């Protein structure tokens, strides 16, 4: 028996090529093949769907779908930055641009597509770009640095994504579309017109029914677009996003059959006309159709892998490809758009339509000839029903009663075998089975089944199925805070607010469980302390509240690994005078503290003994410093760039706004720590979109983002509102933060809280902007009460003898000399010894601490 393993070469390391490899390895088949992947780009496979997030501050590395180490662990050879220039199907050989020749037994072409540039005279000018790859993003970013305006040719999905990128870069943006409406493939005339009005309201100019005849040198800008109707438009840069064309040059040279519109012609098993050669994704033409979404490409990848197993080892043939669902849900320039099935319908099909001119929402359902099943759907302005309607469409279930009820939110039963995630072909029953196998969170479901990890449109529907399955399995988690209270944090917050409860004993007496320990526990005590502080802003160490605090709040400082504490004064907005810098230096020198400038634009001092804290803070308070609340679940920092004061790109005074926000919310105690940031322009130097509350300047005001997060689970904030005035911005943040403080779970970040809200940011907008719950005035009142009653906790502590007495190392008579803690000197500053270093010096750290 031969030990030869068939060599499978995958040409293309895009999303579909990567998915082919991932699927093969998930099935455990990689050991049967000698698997080689060749990628023309130097970057490993990345999420092309999320390209525009780069312009909201996301690093390119974060878009990666895998790592080279992962490929090595799989046993898959990876060649990046290599281009295949010729294919010889008869000899089964490939030639690379380096001249190297490679043999294969089976070949998978996943070469993808390129951005189409119309044959317009002048389209090759330097400032004319395309929007397709990460290299394109960098080129667009570089061109934008010296530009004031930009035009996107193409008003489809990719064109509007490109327009969003240009707007994010601070350019006056135009969209030019040949068709009489935007998104002509997905939307009907009314939906296209509504989308146009919403986009124009954001400051983007839309030009439909326009054909560009020439691109010339401009007079007031770099370029001049000349239209066939005689009109002109001048711009500094131009981005083409007028559709895609398959990369099929290899087929033309090798004599492979091609589709009528290009692409490698394939059958239902993804086989091309050459033996042993497959094609998948946007380079494949099935029945003369090119599928430009990721879900069909993933489906093709799985079919090709299964067919290869049949050809090489006699496995069963998979079901043939019969077309794919092209439904999609996107947020274009912050506007929800969803298209399901036959979203444009036809004159022969019945439909149900909903239009709300007040809120700017348009929905349309197309039914089949019988009027009993969903044939397609169109959603503009509100796509919250997308997952539900997609399940109804994919399940093909008969509509009971009036179809109009579907537009009003009637639950849709998709059936156990209905497809929920079309990107990864995950059914309703697969999600339920994952719950039975131990998955209890949406993250678990994503890791186990990959549902909701593609385009993300099915996320809300997956969450609903998860919640239902957990309840049916008896796995629904008890919302009780701890054994002492049968209430959630949110419920306790409202009980304390309604009954004006200000102390733990009263709370436990009235609402604790029978027989509860009179002192509560380490869970409910800090939660109660936080609630009392949010509602009343009394000193956290006043009266009997000191016993409720955790280690850090108990001594108004972060406990460090060596038993000392950090000292973190507030430096609002990162702005500090030379005099205050000198004071910080003198304190650090006099008390021998390690100093560190942090990413939050503060100066942290480490290594302070407990008994030295009052003396240190006395000096700082006299110099005008306040506590930075680094120890509390509260506002930490409001990061800022220098804004319009100094920066030539700045359009608003970001430093002043950051200082205003930091001083306004410095007294807010919340379920988790809070970080804010203000950027003075769309270049986003303050990284505002990775903060709980992010503010980005526009030439008309401020854009507000909510629910961002860095750290272990990075998340970009959602755009909440655009072009807000100073007053409107602060009013929105007041209500958002107080609503968060009132409703979030214990230790729940704003990012997780926002994702847990049914309806997400759209629901939050209704609560804050439309006052849908009638809470607006109360939320504003509570925040203003906190602002008006603020006191620096350290200033109050050093002025109160009772609180000051807490800061002693020993409650019994102290030894004549406190033991010296072990330190080493590194780069001119003290640092605690590691256990190994202490051991070498024969120092017992446990004894000292």
Domains of the chain: residue spans and CATH: 7-114+246-313 (3.50.50.60), 118-242 (3.50.50.60), 325-411 (3.30.390.30), 415-477 (1.10.10.1100), 489-554 (no CATH), 633-788 (3.30.413.10)
Q: What percent of the chain has a predicted confidence (pLDDT) above 90? A: 49
pLDDT value at residue 417: 57
> Is residue 254 a contact partner of residue 87, using CB atoms and an 8 Å limit?
yes
Query: Which distant-in-sequence residues (6+ apart) come within 8 Å of 740 by Cβ?
Result: 670, 671, 750, 753
Residue 561 has pLDDT above 90, yes or no: no
pTM listed for this prediction: 0.56
At 376-393, the pLDDT tens digits run 898 888 877 777 788 788
Residue 680 has pLDDT above 80, yes or no: yes
Asked if residue 685 belongs to a known ligand binding site, the reply is yes
Pick the more confident residue, 300 or 538: 300
pLDDT value at residue 147: 93
**Best-predicted range by mean pLDDT among 347-356, 412-421, 432-441?**
347-356
pLDDT value at residue 704: 95
Residue 103 has pLDDT above 50, yes or no: yes
Q: For residue 158, list its beta bridge partners.
A: none
Pick the more confident residue, 391 or 128: 128
Query: Which distant-in-sequence residues (6+ apart) come within 8 Å of 339 by Cβ?
Result: 183, 186, 187, 326, 327, 328, 329, 376, 377, 378, 379
Residue 142 has pLDDT above 60, yes or no: yes
Residue 477 has pLDDT above 90, yes or no: no
pLDDT value at residue 821: 64
| Long-range pairs for 647-653: beta carbons < 8 A, 24 or more residues apart | 647/680, 647/681, 649/170, 649/680, 649/681, 649/683, 650/680, 650/681, 650/697, 651/170, 651/680, 651/681, 651/697, 651/698, 651/699, 652/680, 652/681, 652/697, 652/698, 652/701, 652/702, 653/680
Least confident of 129-133, 581-585, 809-813: 809-813
Asked if residue 128 belongs to a known ligand binding site, the reply is no
Work out the average pLDDT over 413-439.
Answer: 72
Residue 838 has pLDDT above 60, yes or no: no
Q: How many degrees, rounded to 5, is the angle at CA 663 between CA 662 and CA 669?
A: 75
Per-residue exposure over 165-198, b if at least 16 CB sit within 10 Å of its own CB, e if not? bbbbbbbbbbbbbbeebbbbebbbeebbbbbbeb
pLDDT band at 413 (very low <50, low <70, confident <90, very high): very low
> How far, in Å, CA of 627 to CA of 793, rounded?
7
pLDDT band at 824 (very low <50, low <70, confident <90, very high): confident
Pick the more confident residue, 813 or 187: 187
Work out the average pLDDT over 263-273.
Answer: 96
Residue 760 has pLDDT above 90, yes or no: no
Pick the more confident residue, 306 or 561: 306
Residue 837 has pLDDT above 70, yes or no: no
Residue 416 has pLDDT above 60, yes or no: no
pLDDT value at residue 1: 39
At 482-537, the pLDDT tens digits run 888 888 889 999 999 989 999 998 999 999 888 777 778 878 888 999 999 999 88
Residue 424 has pLDDT above 80, yes or no: no
Pick the more confident residue, 776 or 517: 776
Per-residue exposure over 509-522, b if at least 16 CB sit within 10 Å of its own CB, e if not? eebbeeebeeebee
At 283-338, the pLDDT tens digits run 999 999 999 888 899 999 999 999 999 988 888 899 999 988 788 877 667 688 88
pLDDT value at residue 87: 95
Asked if residue 681 belongs to a known ligand binding site, the reply is yes
pLDDT value at residue 56: 66
Work out the average pLDDT over 795-801.
Answer: 91
CB atoms within 10 A of CB 592: 13
Query: Which distant-in-sequence residues (6+ apart) come within 8 Å of 26 by Cβ?
Result: none
Residue 835 has pLDDT above 70, yes or no: no
Token representation of residue 723 = 């072009």
pLDDT value at residue 519: 75
pLDDT band at 698 (very low <50, low <70, confident <90, very high): very high
Task: Write out the H or E segment, with its range, that includes residue 833.
Answer: none
Query: Which distant-in-sequence residues (6+ apart) come within 8 Å of 485 by Cβ?
Result: 492, 508, 511, 512, 513, 516, 524
Q: Are strands 264-266 and 565-567 parallel, antiparallel or unpaired?
A: unpaired
Least confident of 279-283, 341-345, 420-424: 420-424
Q: What percent of the chain has a predicted confidence (pLDDT) above 70? A: 91
pLDDT band at 823 (very low <50, low <70, confident <90, very high): confident
pLDDT value at residue 470: 79
Work out the average pLDDT over 433-437.
Answer: 83
pLDDT band at 674 (very low <50, low <70, confident <90, very high): very high
HSE-CB for 48 with a 13 A CA cutoff: 27
Residue 839 has pLDDT above 70, yes or no: no
Q: Are strands 205-207 and 172-176 parallel, antiparallel or unpaired?
A: parallel
What distance lies between CA 767 and its chain's CA centroid? 22
Work out the average pLDDT over 267-288.
Answer: 96
Residue 759 has pLDDT above 70, yes or no: yes
Asked if residue 647 belongs to a known ligand binding site, the reply is yes
Per-residue exposure over 617-645, b if at least 16 CB sit within 10 Å of its own CB, e if not? beebbebebbbbbbbbbbbbbbbbbbbbe
Residue 125 has pLDDT above 90, yes or no: yes
> Is residue 645 a contact partner of residue 651, using CB atoms and an 8 Å limit?
no
At 587-620, the pLDDT tens digits run 999 999 999 998 889 999 999 988 899 999 999 9
pLDDT band at 544 (very low <50, low <70, confident <90, very high): confident
> Is residue 128 a contact partner of residue 240, using CB atoms and an 8 Å limit?
yes
């Amino acid at each position: 028996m031969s030990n030869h393993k068939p060599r499978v070469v995958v040409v293309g390391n895009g999303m579909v090529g990567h998915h082919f490899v991932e699927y093969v390895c998930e099935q455990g088949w990689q050991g049967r093949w000698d698997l080689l992947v060749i990628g023309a780009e130097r970057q490993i496979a990345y999420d092309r769907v999320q390209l525009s997030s780069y312009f909201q501050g996301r690093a390119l590395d974060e878009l990666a779908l895998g790592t080279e180490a992962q490929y090595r662990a799989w046993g898959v050879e990876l060649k990046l930055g290599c281009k295949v220039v010729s294919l010889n199907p008869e000899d089964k050989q490939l030639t690379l641009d380096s001249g190297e020749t490679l043999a294969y037994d089976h070949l998978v072409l996943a070469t993808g597509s390129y951005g189409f540039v119309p044959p317009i005279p002048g389209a090759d000018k330097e400032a004319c770009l395309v929007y397709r790859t990460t290299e394109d993003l960098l080129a667009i970013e570089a061109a934008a640095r010296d530009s004031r305006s930009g035009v996107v040719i193409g008003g489809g999905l990719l064109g509007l994504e490109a327009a969003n990128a240009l707007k994010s870069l601070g350019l006056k943006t135009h969209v030019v579309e040949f068709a009489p409406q935007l998104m002509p493939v997905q939307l009907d005339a009314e939906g296209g017109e509504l989308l146009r009005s919403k986009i124009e309201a954001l400051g983007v100019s839309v030009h439909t029914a326009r054909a560009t005849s020439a691109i010339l040198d401009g007079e007031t800008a770099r370029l001049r677009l000349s239209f066939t109707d005689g009109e002109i438009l001048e711009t500094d840069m131009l981005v083409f996003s007028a559709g895609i064309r398959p990369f099929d040059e290899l087929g033309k040279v090798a004599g492979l059959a091609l589709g009528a519109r290009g692409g490698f012609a394939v059958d239902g098993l993804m086989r091309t006309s050459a033996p042993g050669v497959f094609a998948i994704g946007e380079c494949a033409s099935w029945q003369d159709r090119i599928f430009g979404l990721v879900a069909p490409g993933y489906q093709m990848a799985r079919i090709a892998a299964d067919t290869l197993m049949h050809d090489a080892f006699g496995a069963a043939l998979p079901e043939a490809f019969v077309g794919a669902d092209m439904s999609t849900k996107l947020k274009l320039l912050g506007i929800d758009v969803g298209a399901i099935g036959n979203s444009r319908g036809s004159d022969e099909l019945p439909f149900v339509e909903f239009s709300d001119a007040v809120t700017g929402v348009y929905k349309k359902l197309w039914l089949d000839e019988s009027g009993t099943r969903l044939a397609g759907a169109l959603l503009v302005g509100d796509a919250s029903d997308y997952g539900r309607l997609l399940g109804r469409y994919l399940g093909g279930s008969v509509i009971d009663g009036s179809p109009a009820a579907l537009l009003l939110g009637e639950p849709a039963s998709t059936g156990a075998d209905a497809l929920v995630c079309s990107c990864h072909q995950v059914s309703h029953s697969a999600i339920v089975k994952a719950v039975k196998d131990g998955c209890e969170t949406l993250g678990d479901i994503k890791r186990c089944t990959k549902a909701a990890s593609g385009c993300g449109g099915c996320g809300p529907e997956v969450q609903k199925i998860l919640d239902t399955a957990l309840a049916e399995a008896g796995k629904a988690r008890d919302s009780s805070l701890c054994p002492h209270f049968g209430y959630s944090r949110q419920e306790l917050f409202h009980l304390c607010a309604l009954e004006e409860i200000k102390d733990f004993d009263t709370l436990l007496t009235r609402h604790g469980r029978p027989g509860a320990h009179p002192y509560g526990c380490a869970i409910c005590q800090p939660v109660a302390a936080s609630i009392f502080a949010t509602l009343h802003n009394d000193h956290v160490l006043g009266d009997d509240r000191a016993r409720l605090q955790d280690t850090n709040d108990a001594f108004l400082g972060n406990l460090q690994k060596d038993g000392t504490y950090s000292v973190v004064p507030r430096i609002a907005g990162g702005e500090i005078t030379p005099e205050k810098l000198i004071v910080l230096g003198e304190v650090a020198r006099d008390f021998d503290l390690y100093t560190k400038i942090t990413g939050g634009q503060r100066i942290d001092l480490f290594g302070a003994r407990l008994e030295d804290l009052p003396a240190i803070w006395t000096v700082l308070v006299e110099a005008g410093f306040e506590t930075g609340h680094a120890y509390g679940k509260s506002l930490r920092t409001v990061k800022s760039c220098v804004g319009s004061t100094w920066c030539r790109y700045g359009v608003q005074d970001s430093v002043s706004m950051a200082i205003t926000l930091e001083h306004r919310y410095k007294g807010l105690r919340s379920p988790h720590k809070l970080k804010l940031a203000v950027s003075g322009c769309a270049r986003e130097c303050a990284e505002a979109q990775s903060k709980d509350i992010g503010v980005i300047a526009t030439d008309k005001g401020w854009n507000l983002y909510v629910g961002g997060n860095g750290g272990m689970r990075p998340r970009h904030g959602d755009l909440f509102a655009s072009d807000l005035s100073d007053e409107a911005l602060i009013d929105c943040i007041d209500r958002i933060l107080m609503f968060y403080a009132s409703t979030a779970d214990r230790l729940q970040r704003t990012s997780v809280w926002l994702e847990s809200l049914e309806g997400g940011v759209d629901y939050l907008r209704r609560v804050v902007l439309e006052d849908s719950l009638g809470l607006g005035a109360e939320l504003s009142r509570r925040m203003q009460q906190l602002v008006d009653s603020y006191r620096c906790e350290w200033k109050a502590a050093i002025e109160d003898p009772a609180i000051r007495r807490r800061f002693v190392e020993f409650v019994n008579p102290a030894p004549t000399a406190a033991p010296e803690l072990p330190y080493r000197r590194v780069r001119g500053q003290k640092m605690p010894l590691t256990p190994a270093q202490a051991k070498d010096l024969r120092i017992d750290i446990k004894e000292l601490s």
